Structure 1
């Protein structure tokens, strides 16, 4: 498989050369309050890449003069860079959303403008750049054991909590140190302690700056790993569990992208195959449902899905198991 040719981010100098109308409408579009902070960042990057392409290939035309042929050529350009189908679809979606914004709110000024991504332009065929293969319990145990030998306690805490709670990397970075002091959740019927804890409010995926709020569930295993990391880390004023120390000696909240770096540069080397943050979430779902035989409705609640149909996407079953049952 050939290596993916990553599209470089647009520099300030390149962006300043983009048609003024395109820059203004992009900034205006990004100010919409229904966009989450994370989505806004992704949209900004995608739209800047699009308008750099228009600048370079189509004489910097303003958005209202673009046609479906321009959209098709941009999509072909993305596919020629061997991006995954999901990456192409997202960049296409960002442009289509901006076109919809212009079509809806500026119809009086540009009555002939229509969304350049019409139904006649097919979506790129679905492709997988990497095999969807969750981590087994044995692989996770070996990974944690090796990290403990290396005394990488923050990494151990990250893996234990992310896998235990089935959370996303953007949720993990929000975790506060205070969770090590929380008590067990009480059974509302008997008042007895249940064998798990709940975090403070965590912002999950959702529209707007507030998004969807929920509490993550974690066990004594996670609590112990976080405690160990905080003991090694020592005292500081940063309230977050996962942090980095700056050159000036200050302790700050870790960026979610750091987890990608850990997975690529450390975890993959230990496991012997590709590891990525979202894989921990899928591994938790798969091991609970396909290996331990847990009810998928209960796993849905752990992962924070509204429908078990979404949870099923995360569960990877071996075809051989189904065939074996037939014989």
Structure 2
């Protein structure tokens, strides 16, 4: 399974020493926008640094105001020739296009400037992989494999991501303190439930703060988290999923580690393409198709904003369906 190719990162030092002054200025303004999430801004910065490295090397380090459609097409072809997928190329192109629109909106003196990608055809679509959720047997195979190896961190990840349907960035925010949580108490009835509620986690959403919500999980995830907690031992890092650095310190895992586990381990074990988001669709499929829960229960667990035509249904933040999902079998 071929790894996705990437352009090498560009350092702040190189960017400040070599890139055209106006390009530096407008890039900084663009990535200082406060209404965008930290992850989006991080991506924008990386993409723009790479674009202006290309401009430096191939377009005489011109100001972006002097670039034309042919330069945009040249950049797109450069990305494809360097092994980036059409989707990755579109992502980098979209960032530069957004910067162009920013200039058109806020730099009133540059009325002649136009988005350099207007009229430049998008690259052909890449192969679309069929999204096939894991079966319960496939999930059990993964859990059994890493349980036998005593890799409790991966076992904990598998159970938590499966039971919550959390995205990879949401999973990495989970704090170690959850192993000390008790069952969630229903605020309306005052009764103890059969499931746990996490601390607030920044979920996917617009803006720097995104949408903060809690995630619900049952005994199997909690047992796995506790086993990993005990096997890990004491350290100063507050997050659940971590790695050791070369100097012996413990730090929060990067999102790409979950991608690595999926492509390197899970995909090879099952003989099929596995990626972090697949666990989300797997959980939804199992709940609705295999276990017979209604869409509303799955929607509440996953924190979806489902849409129907132009209407957007607001996510229900309560826990009224969680007792049904995690109820112990008598």
Alignment TM-score > 0.5, same fold: yes
Q: Distance in 1 between matches of 2:214 and 2:19?
A: 43
- The CA deviation at 1:240 is 1.4
Counterpart in the other structure of 2:59: 58
- The CA deviation at 1:11 is 4.9
Counterpart in the other structure of 1:196: 195
Does the CA contact (< 8 Å) of 1:84 and 1:128 recur in 2?
no
**Relative to structure 1, is the Cα distance of residues 292 and 75 closer, same or farther in structure 2, using a 3 angstrom cutoff?**
farther
Please state whether the residue corresponding to 1:232 is helix, strand or coil: helix
**Relative to structure 1, is the Cα distance of residues 129 and 59 closer, same or farther in structure 2, using a 3 angstrom cutoff?**
farther
**1:159-238 superposed matches below 5 A:** 159-238=158-237
**Relative to structure 1, is the Cα distance of residues 195 and 86 closer, same or farther in structure 2, using a 3 angstrom cutoff?**
farther
Q: What is the count of residue pairs matched by the alignment? A: 309
- The CA deviation at 1:139 is 0.8
Does the CA contact (< 8 Å) of 1:300 and 1:308 recur in 2?
no
Counterpart in the other structure of 2:306: 307
**Relative to structure 1, is the Cα distance of residues 130 and 83 closer, same or farther in structure 2, using a 3 angstrom cutoff?**
farther
Q: Distance in 1 between matches of 2:92 and 2:247?
A: 37
Q: Distance in 2 between matches of 1:308 and 1:137?
A: 28
- The CA deviation at 1:294 is 2.8
Q: Distance in 1 between matches of 2:292 and 2:19?
A: 55
Give the TM-score, by structure 2 length: 0.85
- The CA deviation at 1:162 is 0.8
Q: Which runs of structure 1 show a deviation greater than 4 angstroms over 4 or more consecutive aligned residues?
A: 1-5, 11-14, 308-311
Q: Does residue 38 of structure 2 align to residue 41 of structure 1?
A: no
- The CA deviation at 1:80 is 4.1
More displaced, 209-218 or 179-188? 179-188
Gaps of 5+ in 2: 313-330
Q: Distance in 2 between matches of 1:128 and 1:191?
A: 52
Counterpart in the other structure of 1:23: 24
CA RMSD of aligned residues (A): 2.5
Gaps of 5+ in 1: 312-327
**1:132-143 superposed matches below 5 A:** 132-143=131-142
Q: Does residue 8 of structure 2 align to residue 8 of structure 1?
A: yes
Q: Distance in 1 between matches of 2:239 and 2:308?
A: 33
Counterpart in the other structure of 2:107: 106
Please state whether the residue corresponding to 1:190 is helix, strand or coil: coil
**Relative to structure 1, is the Cα distance of residues 123 and 290 closer, same or farther in structure 2, using a 3 angstrom cutoff?**
farther
Please state whether the residue corresponding to 1:208 is helix, strand or coil: coil
Counterpart in the other structure of 1:294: 293
Does the CA contact (< 8 Å) of 1:107 and 1:113 recur in 2?
no
Please state whether the residue corresponding to 2:214 is helix, strand or coil: strand
